[in-house]
Structure 1
């Protein structure tokens, strides 16, 4: 069977075989920052806590040897099948269906991909007043973890984490987690910046380290 021939045994494709998404890929994740975090926090109690959490398997990935293949990701997304399965991507590789779901993501990353805690509400970005990022610098927890500035980047936080030898462990582990989440797991900007919602999750850091809340699949693979 030719590659572009429709196989009627499979579900309908999201895109026609000769059509492709027009938007650029949103591939802003930088897994190599994990090696930086490991180096900066080596032998520290903060890194010990991270290694005992659901984030531990991330540091077993050979991140410097696994570059992101945008062409592969684009092909997987372009060849998607329309399937009624939540948190599951079915694609066509050659003539065979290929699955990548939350289960595979959890196996690779080691993150807790179970059900959310009772009472947890997913953020509604369309709700009026839901975007408080512009006034994040006024938030008490933000000021305690990030500082008094709203436009500080992840790169600047990483430099502070590396160079401030007097930083206490309470703040060190929280900055490290912000860097991991906003630059590796849920990177949504070319210039990585911290997100107020994720800062709020760090109020109880042990809960954040092991909760399914650390996995958020709301980011789109294509930039708008």
Structure 2
């Protein structure tokens, strides 16, 4: 390319060079969950199976600062399956009204077997069960670990993470669950909070760009999904460690 020529292959930039938001970052994804799962499941068949899947590289992940943040780079960094979704599947938008509502989840047979009899249970509750119920069979053990990783690390969309009914229902077949393109799903949740929003608190946004500008002017900026796959280790991670609570 000629010097100073515009590369039309690259997407339009939202921020100019050295003009990224420098306010406090509120990151919902809790990477310490990965260390917790490794510790609780150490030496088990469940952990061996998780390690052999596309979730395995998460346990070796080191923070890097890639030049871009596309689906391809996200897959390279995380090792997750970033392929196409199955026909008819559509990733949920947690900004839509009632997207996180779990009312009635306890009536679902699989929810009852994996999660329990309540629909307001948290990921911390599931982690407590996984750690202290030494009589738990392997069938439930691996499913709890996977939903903890998914809703606590990769698809984090709430300050207090809770299991998502649609994901719990997908755990009926663990092998199919492990082969699902979770990298693609996580990427969509991650970049959605960095783009002009189509919805805010369940309502359609009239001017998405103005809404994003307003959010960036706030003292804090909420990051959902798995933003640590992109956050520069030299700057934002320091703020993340200083300003966010990551304990289960």
**TM-score of the pair, normalised by structure 2:** 0.64
Root-mean-square deviation (CA), in Å?
3.2
Deviations 1:11-62 (A, max 9, x none): 7643578987799745111111111101101111111110111111011125
Aligned to 1:75: none
Aligned to 2:242: none
Aligned to 2:176: 207
Q: Give the CA deviation at 1:133.
A: 1.7
Q: How does 1:171-210 map to 2 (within 5 A)?
A: 171-210=140-179
Decide whether the 8 Å contact of 2:122 with 2:163 is kept in 1.
Answer: yes
Q: Which runs of 4+ in 1 moved over 2 A?
A: 7-26, 117-132, 218-224
- In structure 2, relative to structure 1, the CA distance for the partners of 1:154 and 1:132 (3 Å cut) is closer
Aligned to 1:56: 56
Aligned to 1:218: 189
Q: How far apart are the structure 2 equivalents of 1:43 and 1:51? A: 11
Unaligned runs of 5+ in 2: 194-220, 224-248
Decide whether the 8 Å contact of 1:132 with 1:196 is kept in 2.
Answer: no
Aligned to 2:85: 116
- In structure 2, relative to structure 1, the CA distance for the partners of 1:21 and 1:134 (3 Å cut) is farther
Q: Give the CA deviation at 1:132.
A: 5.7
Q: How does 1:120-131 map to 2 (within 5 A)?
A: 120-123=89-92
Q: How does 1:17-32 map to 2 (within 5 A)?
A: 25-32=25-32
Q: Give the CA deviation at 1:119.
A: 4.2
Tell me the secondary structure at the aligned position of residue 100 of structure 1. Answer: coil
- In structure 2, relative to structure 1, the CA distance for the partners of 1:190 and 1:117 (3 Å cut) is same
Q: Give the CA deviation at 1:143.
A: 0.8
Deviations 1:96-147 (A, max 9, x none): xx41111111111111101122443444779999766211111111111000
Task: Identify the range of structure 1 (99-108 vs 172-181) with the bigger mean alpha-carbon deviation.
Answer: 99-108
Tell me which of the two structures has the higher relative contact order, counting C-alpha pairs closer than 8 angstroms and 6 or more residues apart. 2
Aligned to 1:45: 45
Unaligned runs of 5+ in 1: 1-6, 73-89, 91-97
Count of matched residue pairs: 187
Tell me the secondary structure at the aligned position of residue 103 of structure 2. Answer: helix
Q: How far apart are the structure 2 equivalents of 1:41 and 1:190? A: 25
Q: Give the CA deviation at 1:159.
A: 0.9
Q: How far apart are the structure 2 equivalents of 1:133 and 1:24? A: 30
Aligned to 1:141: 110
